[in-house]
Structure 1
Amino acid sequence: MATYVEILKREFPHIDIEVFDYITGVLASGGADFEDGEELFDAVGGVLQGSSSDNKNEDDVRDICFQMFDTLNLTSTGKSHHQVKLDAPVQLSQLSSATPDMLAEQDVQGIWMVKRGQNTTVDAKKLGKAEAKLKAKHERRNEKDSLKPSTPLVLEEASASQASNKKDTRVDASGKNRSYDIRIENFDVSFGERSLLQGAELSLATGRRYGLIGRNGLGKTTLLKMLANRSLRVPAHISILHVEQEVAGDETEALNSVLESDTVREGLLAEEKQLNARIASGSAEGTESVRLTEVYAKLEEIEADKAPARAAIILSGLGFSPKMQKQTTKEFSGGWRMRLALARALFARPDLLLLDEPTNMLDVRAILWLETYLQTWSKTILVVSHDRNFLNAVVTDIVHLHSQRLESYRGNYENFVKTKEDRLKNQHREYEAQVQYREHIQVFIDRFRYNANRAAQVQSKLKLLERLPPLKPLEKEIEVTLRFPDNFEKLSPPILQLDEVEFYYNPELTLFQGLNVSADLESRICIVGENGAGKTTVLKLLMGELTPVKGMRHSHRNLKIGYFSQHHVDQLDLNVCSIELLLNKFPGRNEEEYRHQLGGYGITGELATRPVASLSGGQKSRVAFAQMTMPCPNFYILDEPTNHLDMETIEALAKSLNKYKGGVVLVSHDERLIRMVCHELWVCEHGKVRRIEGGFDEYRDILQEQFRKEGYL
């Protein structure tokens, strides 16, 4: 491969000697600091374009910068050894402070001390700007490095307070309260200094399934945590299970881990074993046999003998094969351990089950199974979910969190939308009637204010106005909008394709063979399949992050991909605010530009200056969108983009993708997003990717048929 020096000479045969020395010096001394070709272009592209006598446009210069960056990459990884060698060791720190005379005596020439030729063609202003930009970049990087060992960020904590009811407290203390209904009145929830709920009320009737909905960042997850740790008073005899953390990895088999979650059954089995041992040893005192009979009766009552089969059905429904059920918990990834935590909760059957975005960790197949399973749940569920179809299938009631209060609605999500619209219409009519009534009174007052004969009536009308309740304007939630800029030139096909690709991580286990897929700027493709089938691997092959073992990846030379990872939060610097995040990633712009970019994704005002770590999951996703779209890609690859987003933002995401003029390939389990956006459905299974003509409906029918055959339904 040609070195960056050779590329410069080849592409710019008439380059000014000063520009040549400047660029080669920058690459030789600081090339390893560039994260990608775009950064290299930002540093030297303007100087190159300004000094070019070959009429090269910006795209040509960008391509050349990317070529030079590739040679730097090879140098840093040891695959190439093209290096600029000096005749003798030179201390750069000494050179930078040396005078020209000193340098001349040592016969050493610094790249920053080159004398300008008389007939130079370089633009001095552009050169100065490029040097200043590079200097600023190094200063920012040094400043960032100096901050790394600093004290870890201390986040605010959530808290809850509740007006005590002496009667309820006495009943609970006496142990006479056997009701499994939950009613929490007049309570507040705050996060640090921010009030999330004020004077709120929550009623949960036993046997009902509630969907807790509301915009990102309003406190849904915090409310679940307050209930789980009993910061809000829930009767002591009601068992609560909050599926929040993944199962710890140890030597316990997956199936046994689920069985152990039923502490009543485990306790009875342990007691049975202990009683039998005492009876067999002859040390029993006579009461053991009576107690053993009671234990057997209780085990029969809770159908303990059917427990292994019930646990296996739950695990199978959530995607655990018979082989996986025998694996130890430490062998599973975090995503599968979260599924295991969900399986344990379903098996334990608590009186109050708290679920926070349970579909985030599941593929479409597992979501359909969970919907069916929860429809027969006999106890109380409170679930936070952004999945509209899941809520329609599962919940019997909706609890809407907004304006620091909770409002309850009977029915599923579709019924909530209709009822809410009707309420808003009625409120609007009532508001208009009140406005007209006030105006009518005010007209009378204004007309007869100075009429002595009507003075008593005017005074009466004035008192009537004063007695009327204050007129409150209708509360309207701000509509969510997302901006996906598409000010780029249309690219002629082929844009992106994989031809006869074979790929594996382990030579003994081929993941894909004969993979043939293609996409263009009109593509709206969704990839579905079970977890572990290779969906994310397909995305990385399309992006070029993974290299095929066999076959070829073809992409347009001007293709610019924006990638949203399902683990996007892991890629964000949580210790800075959103503005600083964009500043560090895309330096050289003013604060207003960063605020405008974040504002396009709902991160406005003080939200933009808060540490990213303090934002909700959905708000972090919006920050990741703002970061992804800032370079204006012409193709998006999105891996589970709806995780943590509220329903309004998912709707806005779908509308924005439909307006976007570039190509889109996404992996998603959100049925509504798939139906709104995608024209093609690729199913990833058994080492192949196949296109389904009937779209999502056909895929759903295939899964339902599998459930029936396997006996999960």
Structure 2
Amino acid sequence: MQSEALKFETKRKHLQSFIDRFRYKASKAKQAQSRIKMLEKLGDAPTLPKDFSISFDFPSPLPLPPPLLTLSKANAGYGEKVIIRNINLRLDQDDRIAIIGANGNGKSTLAKVLSDNLQLLSGEMDKSNKLKVAYFAQHMIEFLDVEKTPYEILSSLMPKAKETEVRNHLGRFGLQAEKAVTLVKNLSGGEKARLELSIITKDAPHILILDEPTNHLDIDSREALTEALNNYEGAVILITHDLSMIELVSDRLWLVENGSCKEFEGSIDDYKEIILNRNDDEEKKEKVKKEVKIKPKSLPKNTISKVEKEIEELEKLKTMLEEKLSISYNDKIQAEYANTIEKLNELEEKWLTLNGA
């Protein structure tokens, strides 16, 4: 199956990149050794098909001296309400960062600050005057002009570009030929997301900030986006509930929690383990206190064990659908597969919420 071959190659490149960058850095040595073992266990690569048409190709930015951006003693929020306090972060052009933390803690707030869509309440953000930042949020596709074509929209934003240049840029995101001249209202959700990505990257940005970029994409498009992000020569900041993408793309994790944002020293699996341990500790405290007795009928329907069982069942269904698609492509099965992935993401988010993440 093409997605399996692409996923293998993407994972191999990501592991090798991490090893090359952090093998001799003391604070990352343990993680680098772990990835060396993972690389050894990958085995032989599946054969990549020759006609793989679904693709993303982000334009390469001009290099800038490091750091691209720094935040010092910064407070972020809205009006008089501070959401994240005392932010001290640095971003370089080869960084691959995932912002993690529970919903409502300020992940999107931080993304807006970094993309200049929200001003700091206090503190400093230093960056080059030549720095270009691209910001994608899933709601942005709702503001596309549905009565225009991708070519019309992009050419109006690139008035000095030739027709071939506009079409070539759309082609980087799979909007070739007829798709370039199809009214936006007739495009799928995934194609609209591709159009928005083409719009925000028209100036070859140094930083890509992506807030839930996979919600409208099918499985092959998700795999292609993952590969493209690993090949991109700028910095990536990622917010997503797709844990597989976080594992395959990110080298560093920024944890937004309890009104702060700090580097998380560990993997996404380490983070999940902390959440589980935290939940266990809370349960033990409740048992010791015995201050509140909860009647069985008042327990939430979606208990952790039930959600975990649902995730397990969906994982089995996902595997079965992958096997079917590997034999022959079918639109109905592909749609069911994409729906299954979406449900898995929702359940993983629910699992994190139930565990107090």
Q: TM-score, normalised by structure 2?
A: 0.63
Partner in structure 2 of residue 513 of structure 1:
85
Instruction: Say whether the 8 Å CA contact 1:499–1:516 is kept in structure 2.
Output: yes
The match for 1:504 is 77
In the alignment, structure 2 segments of 5+ residues that lack a partner are 4-45, 284-302, 306-357
- Whether the aligned pair in 2 keeps the contact of 1:544 and 1:553 (CA below 8 Å) is no
Distance 1:484 1:664 in 2: 11
1:582-597 alignment runs, 5 A limit: 582-597=154-169
Size of the alignment, in residue pairs?
243
CA distance in 2, matches of 1:493, 1:670: 29
CA distance in 1, matches of 2:77, 2:198: 33
SS at match of 1:626: helix
What residue in structure 2 maps to residue 138 of structure 1? Answer: none
Task: State the match for 2:323 in structure 1.
Answer: none
Provide the C-alpha distance between the structure 1 equivalents of 2:178 and 2:196, rounded to a whole number of angstroms: 17
Report if the CA contact (8 A) 2:53-2:174 is conserved.
Answer: no
**3-state SS of 1:546 partner:** coil
Q: How does 1:173-322 map to 2 (within 5 A)?
A: none
Cα distance change of structure 1 residues 570 and 552 upon mapping to structure 2, 3 Å threshold? same
- For residue 228 of structure 2, the aligned residue among 656, 666, 686 is 656
1:482 aligns with one of 56, 59, 74:
56
Q: Distance in 1 between matches of 2:68 and 2:185?
A: 37
- In the alignment, the residues of structure 2 paired with residue 533 and residue 647 of structure 1 have an alpha-carbon distance, to the nearest angstrom, of 29
1:682, 1:590 → 2: CA distance? 41
Query: Which of 304, 319, 323 does residue 712 from structure 1 map onto?
Result: 304
Q: Is the 8 A contact 2:158 2:166 kept in 1?
A: no
Which residue type is aligned with residue 66 of structure 2? P
Offset at residue 492 of structure 1 (A): 1.3
The one of 564, 568, 571 aligned to 2:143 = 571
In the TM superposition, residue 573 of structure 1 has moved relative to its aligned partner by 1.4
Q: Is the 8 A contact 1:528 1:667 kept in 2?
A: yes
CA distance in 2 between partners of 1:564 and 1:556 (Å) = 21
Q: Which of 122, 128, 138 is 1:556 aligned to? A: 128
Residue of structure 2 aligned with 1:492, choices 31, 52, 65: 65
Partners of 2:52 and 2:93 in 1: CA distance = 32
Shift of 1:483: 1.0
Alpha-carbon RMSD: 2.6
Superposed displacement of residue 521, structure 1: 0.3
Supply the distance in 2 between the matched residues of 1:604 and 1:576 (Cα, whole angstroms): 16
Q: Deviations over 1:258-287 (max 9, x none)?
A: xxxxxxxxxxxxxxxxxxxxxxxxxxxxxx
Q: Is this contact kept in 2: 1:497–1:542, CA < 8 A?
A: no
Q: What do the CA deviations read for 1:355-412 (whole angstroms, capped 9, x no partner)? A: xxxxxxxxxxxxxxxxxxxxxxxxxxxxxxxxxxxxxxxxxxxxxxxxxxxxxxxxxx
SS at 2:54's partner residue?
Answer: coil
Following the alignment from structure 2 to structure 1, what is the Cα–Cα distance between the partners of residues 275 and 254?
15
Asked whether the equivalents of residues 67 and 93 of structure 2 are also in contact (C-alpha less than 8 Å), the reply is no
Distance in 2 separating the partners of 1:524 and 1:538: 16
| Residue 116 (structure 2) pairs with residue 544 (structure 1) | yes
Maintained 8 Å contact 2:254/2:261: yes
The correspondence for 2:273, drawn from 680, 696, 701, is 701
Whole-angstrom distance in 2 between the partners of 1:560 and 1:690: 24
Q: Cα deviation per residue 1:331-368 (whole Å; 9 max; x = unaligned)?
A: xxxxxxxxxxxxxxxxxxxxxxxxxxxxxxxxxxxxxx
Distance 1:477 1:516, change over 3 A: same
SS of match in other structure, 1:613: helix
Q: How does 1:153-164 map to 2 (within 5 A)?
A: none
The alpha-carbon deviation at position 624 of structure 1 amounts to 1.0
Q: Which residue of 2 aligns with 1:310?
A: none
1:504 to partner: Cα distance:
2.9
Gaps of 5+ in 1: 1-213, 216-420, 425-474
1:492–1:589 distance in 2 versus 1, CA, 3 Å: closer
Q: Report the alpha carbon displacement of residue 606 of structure 1 after superposing the two structures with TM.
A: 1.4
Amino acid in structure 2 at the alignment position of 1:499 = S
Give me the TM-score of the superposition, normalised by structure 1: 0.32
- C-alpha change, 1:519 and 1:611, in structure 2 (3 Å) is same
**Counterpart-to-counterpart distance in 2, 1:487 and 1:547:** 25
Q: CA deviation at 1:551?
A: 0.8
What's the offset of the Cα at 1:487? Answer: 4.7
Runs of 4+ in 1 over 6 A off after TM superposition: none
Matched letter for residue 633 of structure 1 = P
C-alpha deviation, 1:636, in angstroms: 1.2
1:517/1:487 CA distance change after superposition, 3 Å:
closer
Letter in 2 for 1:483: D
Aligned-pair CA distance for 1:678: 0.4
Distance in 1 (CA, whole Å) between partners of 2:68 and 2:180 is 36
**Whole-angstrom CA distance in 2 between matches of 1:585 and 1:595:** 13
In structure 2, the partner of 1:531 is: 103
Report the secondary structure of 1:576's partner residue: coil
Q: Deviations over 1:608-632 (max 9, x none)?
A: 2111111111111111111122111
In the TM superposition, residue 477 of structure 1 has moved relative to its aligned partner by 6.2
What do the CA deviations read for 1:31-72 (whole angstroms, capped 9, x no partner)? xxxxxxxxxxxxxxxxxxxxxxxxxxxxxxxxxxxxxxxxxx
Q: Is the 8 A contact 1:640 1:667 kept in 2?
A: yes
What whole-Å deviation, never above 9, does each CA across 1:540-592 have from its counterpart, x for those lacking one? 11223222222111111211111112212123211101110101111133332
Structure number, greater radius of gyration: 1
Change in Cα spacing, 1:681 to 1:653, as seen in structure 2 (3 Å) is: same
- Separation (CA, whole Å) in 2 of partners of 1:485 and 1:504: 32
What CA distance in whole angstroms lies between the structure 2 residues aligned with 1:527 and 1:680?
9
CA contact (8 A) 2:61 2:205 kept: no
**Alignment of structure 1 residues 295-374 onto 2, 5 Å:** none
Indicate yes or no: 2:266 matched with 1:674. no
Equivalent-residue separation in structure 2 for 1:638 and 1:546 (angstroms): 16
The answer on whether the counterparts of 1:692 and 1:698 sit within 8 Å (CA) in structure 2 is no
